[in-house]
């Protein structure tokens, strides 16, 4: 005959599910808790390459590019696109003065100067890393090449 034991010593399915639920919550919250406690490595605050590639593409298609009052201005198809360095340590993109898009954060300094027939721009981040890139319009390149 079958006799039922009073102390089976195992876990029920419900107890396993509750244990997995608690473990899942801890695993999902752990990165945030470590960041709040200051144990996480902030790493690179921003990768400048996608931003610079975007500006390069817009500049090549432009009619004119200039630097004025902490802003890189790109004139194209009757409108102006500006990349402006703000005191909040970010670079914002505007089209005809409207539509704020944050393009870079943790920017300590952003500046451009005339270089050849284009502009040479440099971005310095809060971590001290500096990236420099030159921009020019295809029109300026063709004009100066034909002029030689």
The pTM for the full model equals 0.62
Tell me what pLDDT residue 137 has: 78
Q: What is the pLDDT of residues 101-140, one digit of tens each?
A: 888 888 899 988 888 778 888 888 888 888 888 887 777 6
Delimit the domains of the chain by residue range.
Answer: 10-41, 48-147
Tell me what pLDDT residue 20 has: 93
Report how far residue 122's alpha carbon sits from residue 109's, in angstroms, rounded to the nearest whole number: 8
Report how far residue 30's alpha carbon sits from residue 34's, in angstroms, rounded to the nearest whole number: 6
* Model confidence band, residue 21 (pLDDT cutoffs 50, 70, 90): very high
What 3-state DSSP class applies to 95? strand
* Model confidence band, residue 141 (pLDDT cutoffs 50, 70, 90): low
Report how far residue 146's alpha carbon sits from residue 44's, in angstroms, rounded to the nearest whole number: 42
Tell me what pLDDT residue 19 has: 92
């Amino acid at each position: 005959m079958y006799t039922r034991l009073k102390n089976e010593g195992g876990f029920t399915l419900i107890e396993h599910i509750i244990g997995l639920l608690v473990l899942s919550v801890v695993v999902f919250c752990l990165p945030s808790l470590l960041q709040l406690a200051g144990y996480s490595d902030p790493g690179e605050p921003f990768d400048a390459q996608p931003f610079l590639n975007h500006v390069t593409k817009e500049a090549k298609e432009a009619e004119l590019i200039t630097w004025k009052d902490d802003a890189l201005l790109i004139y194209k198809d009757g409108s102006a696109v500006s990349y402006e360095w703000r005191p909040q340590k970010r670079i914002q993109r505007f089209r005809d003065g409207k539509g704020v898009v944050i393009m870079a954060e943790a920017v300590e300094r952003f500046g451009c100067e005339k270089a050849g027939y284009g502009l040479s721009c440099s971005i310095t981040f809060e971590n001290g890393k500096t990236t420099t890139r030159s921009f020019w319009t295809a029109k300026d390149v063709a004009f100066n090449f034909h002029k030689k």
